[in-house]
């Protein structure tokens, strides 16, 4: 049973959901922001530590579903080394990936998010993937983000 859900709940997603590597706010964080999904009660705080205009480390604290936690954890793997402009572009690409499943130039940081590409077939769960990114973009709006 549930073979048909393994496209989304694949081993990679489940590993990041159940054993996230970045589920703590980084010491010396330079910016943080919260994201809420009032429809389901999911909540996340994303924090970043910037060095020389680029994200050196990202982390999160979350209360939510497996998909949201996996997305947050994968995001925190994807963004180190990126500047704010690159992260904004990446966030748009992640949203497109989540909406369509398509990943025409799926390399670099975007490839990190690929385990969640099946979310396009679960439209009511889209926000679970994008919520951490929304919080990250909000953190980038803070004055000393990077």
Which chain residues interact with another protein by CB under 8 A?
1-2, 4-5, 8-9, 38-43, 63-67, 122, 125, 128
Residue 95 CB, nearest approach to another protein (Å)? 19
Asked if 46 and 32 touch (Cβ cutoff 8 Å), the reply is: yes
Supply the minimum distance, in Å, between the C-beta of residue 109 and another protein: 26
If the CB atoms of residues 38 and 143 are measured against another protein, the closer one turns out to be 38
CB count, 10 Å around CB of 82? Answer: 19
Nearer to another protein, 16 or 145 (CB): 16
Q: Residue 20: which H helix or E strand, with range?
A: none
User: Can you state the angle between helices 126-140 and 84-100, rounded to 10 degrees?
Assistant: 170
């Amino acid at each position: 049973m549930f073979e048909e859900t393994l496209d989304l709940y694949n081993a990679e997603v489940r590993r990041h959901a159940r054993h996230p590597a970045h589920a703590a706010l980084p010491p010396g964080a330079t910016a943080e922001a919260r994201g809420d999904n009032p429809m389901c009660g999911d909540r996340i705080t994303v924090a970043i530590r910037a060095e020389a205009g680029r994200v050196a480390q990202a982390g999160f604290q979350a209360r939510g579903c497996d998909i949201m936690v996996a997305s947050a954890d994968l995001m925190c793997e994807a963004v180190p080394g990126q500047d704010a402009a690159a992260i904004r572009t990446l966030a748009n690409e992640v949203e497109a990936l989540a909406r369509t499943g398509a990943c025409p130039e799926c390399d670099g940081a975007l490839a990190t998010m690929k385990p969640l590409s099946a979310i396009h077939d679960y439209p009511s769960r889209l926000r679970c993937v994008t919520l951490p990114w929304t919080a990250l973009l909000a953190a980038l709006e803070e004055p000393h983000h990077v």
